[in-house]
Amino acid sequence: MSSPPSASASSSPPPCPKKMITLRSSDGATFEIEETAALQSKTLENMIHENCASTLIPVPNITGEVLARVVEFCSKHAEAGVDDESLGAWDEEFVAVDHTTLFDYIRAANFLEIPTLLDLGCQTVADMIKGKTPDEIKKTFKITTACTPEEEEEVRGENQWAFE
């Protein structure tokens, strides 16, 4: 079936413009994010619904550097399908960063309530802890508040657990 030739350029309706939200980081940088991507964050979702007039949302707890990456994460996850296999590989690359940055992501995901990013970040850290001795864990994460020798003994005594 052939469609009749369109007489004018506006014969088909224009595509709906995607609503963009602007986020402002703690250091004043601004980032645009599609509303659908912003909805990955429960915090932003609430703000959007309360603040329907304005499209500029300040995010005081997060620096521009981190916020840029978080926006990237949300956008990627919003456009990908649920069973997008390549998303797993993309996520793995996303968290292949130094520890400080990884914790920045986790804090950002916690503040903005992004369950997918929080889950990814926490699991990555947990995977780093697995298989390490207490000393190795302390060294990896630079944990300095160690237990006193008495506390160590107490914990050692408690720890005759079955699965070794």
- Which position among 1, 52, 53, 162 is part of the footprint of another protein (CB under 8 A)? 162
Nearer of residues 83 and 164 to another protein, judged by Cβ: 164
Q: Residue 8 — φ and ψ, nearest 5°?
A: -125, 165
The verdict on 43 binding another protein (CB under 8 A) reads no
Task: Say how many CA atoms lie within 13 Å of 152 toward its Cβ.
Answer: 7
The verdict on 141 binding another protein (CB under 8 A) reads yes
What residue type is assigned to position 87 of the chain? L
The verdict on 129 binding another protein (CB under 8 A) reads yes
- Which position among 142, 149, 150, 157 is part of the footprint of another protein (CB under 8 A)? 142
Q: Which residue has the tokens 């603040």?
A: 51
The verdict on 153 binding another protein (CB under 8 A) reads no
Phi-psi region of 131 (alpha: psi -120 to 50; beta: other; left: phi over 0): left
The verdict on 31 binding another protein (CB under 8 A) reads no
- Which position among 6, 126, 149, 157 is part of the footprint of another protein (CB under 8 A)? 126
Output the furthest CA–CA distance in the chain (Å, rounded). 88
**44 three-state secondary structure:** helix
**70 three-state secondary structure:** helix
Q: Which residues bind another protein (CB under 8 A)?
A: 26-27, 63, 98-100, 102-103, 106-107, 110, 118, 122-123, 125-126, 129-134, 137-138, 141-147, 151-152, 155-156, 158-164
